[in-house]
Amino acid sequence: MQLQDKYRIAILSAYALGLHGFESLLPSPIPWLRLGLANIITITTLFLYGTGAAVTVTLIRVVLGSLFAGTFPGPAFILSLGGGLASALVMGSIFSVAPRLFSAIGLSIIGALFHNLVQLVIAYFLFIQKIEAVLLITPLMVLLGTLTGTANGAVSGLLIKNLKISGQKVQNVD
Amino acid sequence: MKINFILHNPEFGPGSLRYIFSVLHLSACLLLLVSLSACSSQKDRVFSKTRVLMDTAITITVVAASQEGAEKAIDSAFREIEKIGKLSDFYSSGSEISLINKKAGISGVKVSPDVLQLVEKAVYVSEKTGGAYDMTIGSVSGLYDFHKKVLPGKDAVRKGLRLVNYRDISIDRSVSSVFLKKEGMLIDPGGITKGYAADKALECLKKEGIASGIISVAGDIRAFGSKPDGRPWNIGIRNPRAESREDDVMATIELMDAAISTSGDYERFFFSDNVRYHHILDPRTGRPASRCISVSIIADEAAYTDAFSTGIFIMGPEQGMKVLEEMKFNGVIVDNRGRIHMTPGIGGRIEFKNSP
Amino acid sequence: MNLRILLNTTTPADKVLFSLLIIVSLSGYLFADKLLPENPSVRIEVNGKPVYILRVTENRTVPVKGPHGYTYVEIKDQRVRISGSPCANKLCVQQGWISSGALVCLPNRVVVTIGKQTEENMPVDAITG
């Protein structure tokens, strides 16, 4: 079972990496505007295997993703790590304290929100240092994050449902 | 399906030692990265203001944390420049320089510390350049008019030249007075005031707590400190034979705590019978000096770079390089054939963009 | 079908959170626009005193009165130039269009600066000569 869990983490991380990479191939009107597709996997992991697994998958995705993209210890990596960790941790703690308060969609929105806010704070301290620019962009980021977060959450919801059913089937066969 | 399986996984869960260790390690690396970037990027910004004073455009650039602080410092520096401009104005009848000129051959004139220093520095540069730079050229330069393209006659120039000799400036430090020994002598401080004003403006900025910036008084530049990112200031040397805005800059040079001035035959000039008549007059002939087309000098004080660039322009490249060596100054000389002479000290700091 | 099931699983907290964020971000977006007109501006000074601070996005020509008469400053397509001047040498007019930095008419004491006060990517910080 433990070995199997490790495989699951590895497979989920691979999915997250795949989505992350796929997303960076999509044309984007603004360079830093991201759909956050990898968050689908983070939420799925959270619901199925808990906070620790979700954080682990996020860490693996961020580190390997930036290694593949060649941005490893650079600014893009710091932003990605800060945003990813913050959203996974916040989603995780809310989910462990009150698992029934939010559905996957609500958690996904929260995840997107914290992902964006933490990235803005990091960007302000490390790179931009113009509070006007950050303030100007924050509402837009929050708005877009809420919309993409809803969509990602919906996909995660479907995924969780299907995986739970198939998981049970597999167990039954076992 | 076990939820939270990883919590109970002794090998690799948040509870295991290895996990805690790796998380700590990662955090430490991250902290190091963040602190490194935080140190290199201070909150300082660059502020800049341009004003017209002393009949020229003056730009003061400072690095400061706030706009208020920057403007306060810049304004006080502008006031200092304005003051020096008024004291040393060759054309205004009320300036101390005009008073000295009016009393030439009659009596000494008590002057302010600024004008005393200005004249002392001018005489020092005259001594070091063998009289090539000479502020008593006023009796000849007043005969030219570069706006109306007026060329003086030979006799008038010869007459004026008799009054040109920096040794006839007598300075009495004890009573702070300047006396011109011959009647009709005129000192024209135009070749040193701008640099001197830049030096004094720098003192003002430092008094206001500014640690780095640039003062540019029509091409006489005094730079101090560095840019917010720690790099030196980049100063462009004007291309003496620029044809468009694209080839405006001949070379760029990195400067931190130093002054740079350039004298060129392209600043004020007109053509008459295909001869370029420009404003840098040779005190020995009374005619525009023709050995160089551009001379840039780097030294500690802008008053010196201003006056030495004029003097060396007149002396020409061979003698000029000797003076630079003796004074331990750096410089770039473009001679009248377009060849570039350079002191070894600026080898790594200069980058040529367009050849003149 | 699946979508409907999904909608049924959403909790009241989900809906409150969603509406709250949409409202806050939309109003913040409208506010931020009003709060921060941070466009590079064109600043025109005569004798060191500011007489105009104009938006670079607004195409127009303004007359600026100096000691010798009117200097005309033209703003077009986020650039600025001195289009007419009473001075003798017309050096200011010859400087042409600029999108950052300063235009100066010495005789008429007019200084036109454009751009933010912090210019980080300038090729040179000052020019000698």
pLDDT per residue, tens digit, chain B (356 aa), is 333 343 334 444 444 545 544 544 544 444 444 444 444 344 678 888 889 899 888 999 999 988 889 999 999 999 999 999 999 999 889 999 999 999 999 999 999 999 999 999 999 999 999 999 999 999 999 898 887 888 899 999 999 999 999 999 999 999 999 999 999 999 999 999 999 999 999 999 999 999 999 999 988 999 999 988 888 999 999 999 887 766 788 999 999 999 999 999 988 888 888 888 899 999 999 999 999 999 999 999 999 999 999 999 999 999 999 999 999 999 999 999 999 999 998 888 888 888 77
Higher pLDDT, A39 or C88: A39
A117–chain C Cβ distance below 8 A for any pair:
no
* Inside any domain, residue B345: yes
User: Do residues A145 and A137 lie in contact, with contact meaning Cβ atoms separated by under 8 Å?
Assistant: no
Res C33: pLDDT: 59
Give me the sign of the Cα torsion angle C118, C122, C128, C129: negative
Res B15: pLDDT: 47
Residue ranges covered by each domain of chain A: 2-173
Distance from CA of A81 to the nearest CA of C (A): 24
Higher pLDDT, C32 or C15: C15
Q: Which chains touch C (3 or more CB pairs under 8 A)?
A: A, B
The helix or strand, by DSSP H or E, that contains position C65, with its residue range, turns out to be: strand C60-66
Higher pLDDT, B290 or C39: B290
Distance CA A130, CA B52 (A): 31
* Inside any domain, residue B144: no
Secondary structure, 3-state, chain A? CHHHHHHHHHHHHHHHHHHHHHHHHCCCCCCCCCCCCHHHHHHHHHHHHCHHHHHHHHHHHHHHHHHHHCCCCCHHHHHHHHHHHHHHHHHHHHHHHCCCCCCHHHHHHHHHHHHHHHHHHHHHHHHHCCHHHHHHHHHHHHHHHHHHHHHHHHHHHHHHHHHHHHHHHHHHHC
Distance from CA of C62 to the nearest CA of A (A): 29
* Inside any domain, residue B114: no
Distance from CA of A55 to the nearest CA of B (A): 10
In chain B, the residue whose alpha carbon lies closest to the alpha carbon of A4 is: B5
| Residue B154, token pair as written in the block | 């030979």
User: Do residues C81 and C96 lie in contact, with contact meaning Cβ atoms separated by under 8 Å?
Assistant: yes
- Statement: residue A171 has pLDDT above 80: no
Domain A2-173, CATH among 3.40.50.720, 2.60.120.260, 1.10.1760.20, 3.30.470.10: 1.10.1760.20
* Inside any domain, residue B163: no
* Inside any domain, residue B102: no
User: Do residues B305 and B260 lie in contact, with contact meaning Cβ atoms separated by under 8 Å?
Assistant: yes
Q: Which of B49, B42, B40, B55 is nearest to B205 (CA)?
A: B49
Residues of C in contact with B262 (CB under 8 A): 128-129
Interface of C with B (CB under 8 A): 45, 47-48, 88-89, 96, 102, 104, 106, 109-111, 113, 117-120, 122-129
Can you give the residue range of the structural domain that contains B328?
Answer: 232-356
The helix or strand, by DSSP H or E, that contains position C67, with its residue range, turns out to be: none
Residues of A in contact with C27 (CB under 8 A): 139
User: Do residues B131 and B124 lie in contact, with contact meaning Cβ atoms separated by under 8 Å?
Assistant: no
Higher pLDDT, A173 or B146: B146
* Inside any domain, residue B80: no
Distance CA B250, CA B356 (A): 7
* Inside any domain, residue B245: yes
| Residue B231, token pair as written in the block | 């790099």
- Statement: residue C32 has pLDDT above 70: no
CB contact under 8 A, C117 and B53: no
Q: Give the CATH number, domain containing residue B317.
A: 3.10.520.10
User: Do residues B115 and B87 lie in contact, with contact meaning Cβ atoms separated by under 8 Å?
Assistant: yes
Res B129: pLDDT: 96
Domain C41-114, CATH among 2.60.320.10, 1.10.10.520, 3.40.50.1400, 3.20.20.70: 2.60.320.10
Res C94: pLDDT: 85
Taking the model in full, what pTM does it have? Answer: 0.60
**CA torsion, points A140, A146, A147, A153, in degrees to nearest 10?**
150
B26–chain A Cβ distance below 8 A for any pair:
yes
Distance CA C85, CA C77 (A): 21
